[in-house]
Amino acid sequence: MPPHCDTKDGPVVTAAKRALESGNVNLVLIWVPEEAEGEVKGAFDRVIQARKAGQAAWEGADEWFFETVVRLHRAGEGEAFTGLKPAGLDEGPVVPRAEKAIETGDPGETIRFIRQALEEDLKHRFRRVMETKGYDVNDVAAGRAYVQAFIGFVVHAHHLHAGISGHGGHGHEGHPAASRGPGKNMPKTEGTPKG
């Protein structure tokens, strides 16, 4: 889920506003799981009625509706609802680029930005592996630093690929290296004797 789906200017609330303005609940139903449709439709009908009762009731009802759809959206993603966040929060560098790509029909800037960040990150992690690889076999602390660098590169690369290829889950998985210990994919840690 994008980091701003629970903000007042995020896509879920924006869709809810459009639904209320147009009278068409379908504009927001796409943001909630199918099993939540009944609850959203019921809330929508109540808000439409409240809007007829005057400005004070309208504003409170709108806010309640926004909270309802965001809560159901987050539940559909397996996330807890912690309340609506204010508009204008920092979304980070990717979300605005990705949304602009959708608006313009051109993903080029988003792809270039992510490719550069990914390349810099993996090169940094790889350099750390190379810096620690030639450790003294009798220096256990240095060997552990190598193993941590190794895991930081190999496991991170694996998780990136799993996320890109759709094999990564939405939730957090256990750290593979923590459960498997040294094994077939772990480095051979003979090290390089020094001196």
Summarize pLDDT for 80-128 with one digit per residue, the tens: 898 888 887 777 888 889 989 999 999 999 999 999 999 999 999 999 9
Q: 3-state DSSP helix/strand/coil percent for the chain, to nearest 5?
A: 65, 0, 35
Q: Is residue 82 part of a domain?
A: no
Q: Is residue 161 part of a domain?
A: yes
104 and 148 inside one domain: yes
Q: Is residue 59 part of a domain?
A: yes
63-101: b or e for each residue (b if 16 or more CB lie within 10 Å)? Answer: eebbbbbbbbbbeeeeeeeeebbeeeeebeeebebbeee
- Which one has a higher pLDDT value, 179 or 63? 63
71 and 22 inside one domain: yes
Q: Is residue 87 part of a domain?
A: no
Judged by DSSP in three states, 102 sits in helix
pLDDT at 187: 41
66 and 123 inside one domain: no
Joined together, the tokens standing for residue 80 give 């807890």
- Quote the mean pLDDT of the chain: 83
Number of residues in the chain: 195
Q: Match 């994008």 to its residue by tokens.
A: 2
pLDDT at 167: 60
Q: What is the mean pLDDT of residues 24-44?
A: 96
Q: Is residue 192 part of a domain?
A: no
Percentage of the residues of the chain whose pLDDT score is greater than 70:
84
pLDDT at 3: 56
Q: Is residue 5 part of a domain?
A: no
- Domain range for 40 is 11-76
50 and 100 inside one domain: no
> 76, 107, 128: which is the final residue of a domain?
76
100 and 138 inside one domain: yes
Nearest to 83 by CA among 24, 180, 6: 6
105 and 59 inside one domain: no
Cα(75)–Cα(45) distance, integer angstroms: 21
| Number of structural domains in the chain | 2
Q: Is residue 191 part of a domain?
A: no
pLDDT value at 189 more than 50: no
Which range has highest mean pLDDT (6-10, 38-42, 163-167)?
38-42
154 and 115 inside one domain: yes
Backbone angles phi, psi at 13, to 5 degrees: -65, -40
- Whether the model pTM is above 0.85: no
pLDDT value at 184 more than 60: no
Confidence tier at 194 by pLDDT (50, 70, 90): very low
